[in-house]
Chain A
Amino acid sequence: MSEPGEPDQVSDAASYAVDGVVPANVVRPTSVEALSAALGDADAAGQAVVVQGGRTAVGIGNVPSRYGLALDLSALDQVVSLEPDDFTITVEAGMRVSALQLTLAAHGQFVPLDVAWAEQSTVGGLVARGRGGMRRGRFGSVRDWLIGTSMVLADGTSIKGGGRVVKNVSGFDLPKLFAGSFGTLGAIVQATFKVQPMPAVDVTIVHPCPNVQGAAELGLSLSRTRALDAAVALDPTSASATGLGDGSSAMLALRVAGVLEAVESELTALQDEISGSTPKASDPQAWQAISNLEASPGDNARGLLRLGGPVSIQHEVYQAALGAAGDDARVWGYADSGLVFVSLAADAIASVSTSLRERFRPQGLSVIVDAAPPELKAKLDIWGGSDEGLEIMREIKRRFDPKATLSPGRFVGEI
């Protein structure tokens, strides 16, 4: 055991590889001061740093152009402040998302954010990704629940933004800037969330459909009239992988939660529209399994595309993705918020991502290559963003991380 404040020197650098690039050094600080010192030193020495936690999403992005130091935040995993009566919680970035939820559950609360591999994934990683999951149609994404953050900039300077109150326009909203910045602006060391009371009742309904695009269409139309927490369309393979089907048909999985009377009334209304489906008490493991489809940590053999567009084009996106991605592709998505995932063979990533971008760019479809074999990445456009706002983003990067120390080259426009 090292003394508090002393960084743990971890010898096994290979296990900190990012896209096959192995860092020269690894530091796992046990205090923010130690983290700040390690980061500041690396910056001064011109050593590139990849900040990481549970490493479930560290593969997202371009191959790092340089990588000298792995900064592992997983030892910073404490609750800083738990205020159940104020419905807020502040935790260190290295805390596992599942631990955050367990801490809150003891008080009948939760953060309505879903993340793949919640038992490994850290809060810092959740914020750095900044995304919403299967319940985002109802609850939004990380940015909508994050009310404050503390960060350490590349030169070791500690800063913060936001606060611990649920409503705040005091100074610029730095938490929004850092949510979804993929570790390119600073190390997120603390996060404060507003939280929700847990619903009294949480029910799952699984409904077989002829195909995944049909499941998505039905899910979308139900979500327009009913109060749903989630409406997930799964192709037969994904349905069986999550334990929600036997692989013989596509599935629509609905989640309905709230006070008992409200849930009962929703279920009655839903029964009229999807007769024959049996509601059952929600199975958290099945929902986590659906989230887990979003990432395969440590396995980059296949490609994963994340397609986000307006719901009005969702059906066409499914059709186009299914048509282009080949027979062994898996396709699923969150039907009420227009998010579609495609898991496909590595050699299909380039052509499928390009054709989807070309076809749906005018309607605002974003196509992000979330996973790909590292050796292919150099030839792929991982983020696929337009140039809109890119100069401003580059200038932000220059001001927050002037030496391009943090995850250099990995983000949009090779930021």
Chain B
Amino acid sequence: MLGKRAVLWRTEDLLVYEYDGTIDRGAPQVIAFPKNAEEVSATIKIARRYGLPVTPRGAGTGLSGGALAMRGGIVIAMNRMRRILEIDVENRTALVEPGVVNLDLGSAAAPHGLAYAPDPSSQRACTIGGNVAENAGGPHTLAYGTTTNHVLGLEIVTADGEIHWLGGPTRDVPGYDLVGCVVGSEGTICVVTKALVRLVPKPESVKTMLAIFDSVRQASSAVSAIVSGGIVPAALEMIDQQTIAAVEPVLHTGFPLDAEAVLIVEVDGGEAQVEAEAAVVERVLRQKEPREIRTATEESEREKLWAGRKGAIGALGRIEPNYYLLDGVVPRTKLPDVLDEVYRIAERYGLPVANVFHAGDGNLHPCLLFDERDPGVTERVLDAGAEIMRVCVDAGGAISGEHGVGAEKRSFLPWIFTDDDMAAMKGLRAAFGADDDFNPCKIFPGGHGCGEGQIGFQQRQIEQFGPDAHV
């Protein structure tokens, strides 16, 4: 029905779709590549007829197992739905298909003086559909918000194959905020086949600073101090020594190898505003006694800093072939204590840990580094990961800030939600018609045939640097 070239079923073709850069694996029987909502609907209906589970998939860069076919079945891949259908300059919106790559949307908006604000580090590979599913963030969410703040309308296909439009050109559409329910639902409620997103004006001026610290604690306490100083920077990122050791030799960003931590602080807006805010940021930073503060004066220097930040996770492969990325969120003031605890836990388990994260949002990304060929190491990684998650929860935080709970962290959901909370959430999912065959074994613990605790203890080696390695 979709045509022979739109379906993969040979074992060797399917293999690459078993992974998404997490420890878990899920092997589909078939991959379908529909090109519009009608074909998605037809695919879903076929799956239902044969009782096959359905799992939507973008670029597979989510790092929480969200795109894995945990019980096999059909993977609906968005690779052929990658058109930017409209950029409406006057209303500052774009209508796109789900397979559009995040960075490509930004590039298409740029000539009009506009930008798509959410900018995950994997933006060269990750897609808008996947961003919608995971409510993706990125370094600039501190000032601009996450994906949910930027999606106005969605065309969706439900688990029974019906096509609906949700939301509209403004937030004034009467009725429940179904768009808000779908964004961040990790592809477990429906398949998104079009998204109407907001574009924001590109700032007139941008200033990016690099603050170099001799202690992680100093750096993390500077994070709170900056925001308490009355400025909400556009971005406020932290990179620790382990990460610098991986990034610097490859990307030559100028992060000193002997620094314990660096902060990237960016302010944007009108020129006068940027100058004034940068002065405030610098004054606050100085009080925390950094070794050095550098300001990127040229656009090329700015780009270099961001290349270092956004390429960091990919570069970790230099240290160990595998990593396990955690995505905990804590109240910003808890960062210094929680970070201390993260290092202690990693040390106790004998695992190197690299921290590179959205400090301004309190969104940690400890990456536990390991080599899956070492016997027993994967279990240790998972145990250490669970302990770190627990520390985040105990600090009043959450188990995912932007990557989603997915297959990987679902056993932790009861740490923050009661059975009643989860029942209400499942009720919402069921109201859209999604049952256990629609993207199964995600977000919520348990579930028929999900093989609780039977996580595949293998992960493909990251072949090269950069997020594309996970596609």
Complex partner residue of A259 from B168, B171, B277, CB under 8 angstroms: B277
> A308–B272 contact, CB under 8 A?
no
B164/A388 in contact, CB under 8 A: yes
Closest to A220 in B: B90
List which A98-144 residues lie within 8 A (CB) of chain B: 108, 130-132, 136, 140-141, 143-144
Cβ of B135 < 8 Å from any Cβ of A?
A: yes
Does the CB pair A169–B429 fall under 8 Å? no
8 Å CB contact of B416 from A170, A177, A196, A399: A170
CA distance A309 to B168 in the complex (A): 9
Shortest A267–chain B CB gap in Å is 10
Question: Is A31 interfacial (CB-CB < 8 Å)?
Answer: no
Interface 1/0 per residue, A377-397 and B, CB below 8 Å: 000000111001110110110
Given that A86-B331, A169-B405, A181-B176 are contacting pairs, would A196 and B166 also be in contact in the complex, using a CB cutoff of 8 Å? no
> Judging by beta carbons under 8 Å apart, are B270 and A227 in contact?
yes
Q: Within the complex, which residue of A131, A167, A259 is in contact with B358, where a contact is CB–CB below 8 Å? A: A167
CB-CB contacts below 8 Å: B397-445 with A: 397-405, 413, 416-418, 420-425, 427-433, 443
Which one of B90, B399, B424 has the highest number of Cβ atoms from chain A below 10 Å of its Cβ? B424
A contact residues, range:
35 or more
Residue in B closest to A261 when the chains form the complex, CB atoms: B276
B137 near A167 with CB under 8 A, answer yes
Closest to B227 in A: A87
Chain A residue nearest to B360 (CB atoms) is A166
Q: Quick check: A167 and B402 within 8 Å, CB to CB?
A: yes
CB-CB under 8 A for A366 and B431, given A87-B332, A159-B424, A392-B178: no
In angstroms, Cα B135 to Cα A309, docked, is 25
Interface segment out of the listed B35-43, B101-109, B143-151:
B143-151
Residues in chain B near residue A207, CB distance under 8 A = none
Which residue of B134, B141, B174, B272 contacts A366 across the interface (Cβ within 8 Å)? Answer: B174
Beta-carbon contacts under 8 Å, A178-227 to B: 179-181, 185, 196-198, 200, 224, 227
Q: How many residues of B contact A (CB 8 A)?
A: 87
> Chain A: which residue is nearest B201 at the CB level?
A224
Listed residue (A163, A169, A399) with the most chain B CB atoms within 10 angstroms of its CB: A169
A165 pairs with B401, CB closer than 8 A: yes
* Cβ-neighbour of B170 out of A224, A310, A389, A400 (below 8 A): A310
A86 and B148 contacting across the interface, CB-CB below 8 Å: no
- Say yes or no: A259-B180 contact (C-beta < 8 A), given A86-B331, A169-B402, A396-B428: no
The chain A residue with its CB closest to the CB of B334 is: A86
The reply to whether the CB of A265 lies closer than 8 angstroms to some CB of chain B is yes
**B428-A167 in contact (CB<8A):** no
A173 touches B181 (CB 8 A): yes
**Given the contacts A180-B176, A181-B176, A366-B168, A85 and B401 also touching, CB distance less than 8 Å:** no
Q: Which of B3-11, B228-236, B348-356 contacts A (4 or more CB under 8 A)?
A: B228-236
Give every chain A residue within 8 A of B398 (Cβ-Cβ): 163, 165, 168, 170
A176, A265, A385 — which one has the most chain B CB atoms within 10 A of its CB?
A176
Chain A residues near B201: list those with CB within 8 A.
Answer: 224
User: In the assembled complex, which residues on chain B have CB atoms less than 8 Å from the CB atom of A306?
Assistant: 172
Inter-chain contacts of A88 with B (CB < 8 A): 331
A173 in contact with B420 given A167-B401, A400-B427 (CB within 8 Å): no
How far does the alpha carbon of A311 sit from the alpha carbon of B198 in the complex, in Å?
13
Decide if B183 touches A173 in the complex (CB within 8 Å).
yes
Closest to A366 in B: B172
Assess A260 versus B276: contact at CB under 8 Å? Given A85-B333, A368-B172, A392-B164: yes
Q: Which residues of A contact B404 (CB under 8 A)?
A: 169
Query: Which of B174, B224, B396 contacts A165 (CB under 8 A)?
Result: B396
| Contact in complex: A144, B149 (CB < 8 Å) | yes
A sample of 24 inter-chain contacts (CB < 8 A) reads A140-B171, A141-B171, A143-B171, A143-B180, A157-B420, A161-B425, A163-B397, A164-B331, A167-B141, A167-B358, A167-B363, A168-B398, A169-B400, A171-B416, A171-B425, A197-B232, A227-B273, A364-B173, A366-B173, A383-B175, A392-B432, A392-B433, A396-B428, A412-B174
A-B residue pairs, 3 tightest by C-beta:
A308-B172, A176-B180, A262-B273
